[in-house]
Structure 1
Amino acid sequence: MNVDTIDAVFFDLDGTLIDSAPDLAGAANDLRASLGLPAMPLERFRPMVGSGARGMIGVAFDVGPQDARFSELREEFLHRYEQRMTRETRVFASVLPLLDALERQGRRWGVVTNKAARFTDPLVRSLGLHERAATVIAGDTTPHSKPHPAPLLEAARRVGLAPARCMYVGDDVRDVQAGQAAGMVTVVAAWGYLGIGEPIGTWGADHIVQTPDELLNLLAMA
């Protein structure tokens, strides 16, 4: 797919628009400390931020959803994350000029994330993005979350555009899958967390950009 008629750009939140790894890792380490365990380095957590609580619990305790301990650890982790989620989280400095440029160009932009609204809404507000975003779709805004296309289709509906006139930018293979299923141009933000699965070149995205400036150059081709 090409970018000739892109009128709106939707972004994943964690790892694409914002660097939330320090607070997510901090919550996991807070939980480890409460159990008498030493802190783990941020670098261990960072690649798995895109997997949310499941990823953080997996790194911190080597526990998956099938484990009997998972549910309790997840709830305690989420509680601790909610208490500190705005402490160190920031919009990527290189992303701010991108948002400014989109607005100057008259292109609307928004957020589509799998993070639940109880975290998404206060976090987006704390970062000053809520007044600028054309729409914010959380993980529980629609009955399905990514990789299902429903959240992206809802974002397009809210801005009054056909999905083909929208671009989705994310740092996880589920972002590409959701964007493709919704009929949007898909872009991998290679500055993001990216996970530890298959290389991003195998995800099947329409484009891969290393920096926000590259995304602007891509849009300038339209």
Structure 2
Amino acid sequence: MFNNIQAVLFDLDGTLIDSAPDLGAAADKMRVDRGLPSLPLERYRPMAGAGARGMLGEAFGMLPDHPDFLTMREEFFVNYESRMTELTSIFDGVPELVAQLLQRNLAWGVVTNKAARFTEPLTRAIPLFATAGAVVSGDTTPHAKPHPAPLFEAAARLNIAPEHCIYVGDDERDIAAGLAAGMGTVAAMYGYLGAKSDPLAWGAHAAIKSPSELLQLLEGA
């Protein structure tokens, strides 16, 4: 499955960057602004991959069918926009991984369910992404993951057939999208995963516990 690979595509949050501190802080500010006690980052981190849904669920026990969800979500979005890069960091080993991909003449890109409203300024602000050949957001195509459309879009932008791509992500939706696109799939076990997730049951072709392990997979192909 990892033979003749020409490109590696990645999910963003929980795979390339640790954005949980800023996502959690954006939700926690909403609690504090309402006179509620602050929650520790450890409460928010497992749900960071679920974006606003996960953050509001943790902060307020609020589900998307709540009548105030859309209003609260926009408040969360505004909070997050104001601080997207304050505490967000690149996972250890990712810069070295990207450097090795480029050295091997492999293209790379990002496919995230994060809206372009956030993805574009965030990736512009972090120098690592200057060499990404494609950055596809959750609203770039009519469908978000687990639909394969965003992955097909990224492959098209790289001018590389999907079967010559690998997709790496820390959510079951990532693996489902990658499989549907006919790509090699890798579960990032170091990501957010979610409190009740079983990554080994997602059906990925491989799983890695650190970014550097992806290079070992490629070397072993």
1:149 maps to amino acid? P
Quick check: 1:79 aligned with 2:78? yes
Deviation at 1:86, TM superposition (A): 1.0
1:135 maps to amino acid? A
Check conservation: 1:146, 1:175, Cα contact below 8 A.
yes
Query: Could you list the runs of 5+ residues in structure 1 that have no partner in the other structure?
Result: none
Q: Where in structure 2 are the equivalents of 1:13-24 lying within 5 Å?
A: 13-24=12-23
Match of 1:162 in 2: 161
Deviation string 1:22-80 (CA, Å, 9 cap, x unpaired) is: 00000011111111111101111111111000000000000001111211111100110
Q: Please, which moves more after superposition, 174-183 or 65-74?
A: 65-74
Match of 1:203 in 2: 202
Q: Match of 2:167, SS?
A: strand
Query: Could you list the runs of 5+ residues in structure 2 that have no partner in the other structure?
Result: none
Match of 1:123 in 2: 122
Question: TM-score of the superposition, structure 2-length normalised?
Answer: 0.98
Match of 1:133 in 2: 132
Quick check: 1:93 aligned with 2:83? no
Q: Distance in 2 between matches of 1:182 and 1:197?
A: 26
Check conservation: 1:90, 1:127, Cα contact below 8 A.
no
1:216 maps to amino acid? L
2:72 maps to amino acid? L
Q: Distance in 2 between matches of 1:211 and 1:200?
A: 14
Structure 1 residue runs of 4+, over 3 Å off? none
Deviation at 1:130, TM superposition (A): 3.4
Deviation at 1:129, TM superposition (A): 3.0
Q: Match of 2:195, SS?
A: coil
Check conservation: 2:95, 2:128, Cα contact below 8 A.
no
Match of 1:108 in 2: 107
Deviation at 1:221, TM superposition (A): 1.7
Q: Distance in 2 between matches of 1:122 and 1:98?
A: 23
Q: Distance in 2 between matches of 1:127 and 1:15?
A: 15
Question: TM-score of the superposition, structure 1-length normalised?
Answer: 0.98
The alignment's C-alpha RMSD in Å is 0.8
- Of all paired residues, the percent bearing the same amino acid is 56
Check conservation: 2:8, 2:106, Cα contact below 8 A.
yes
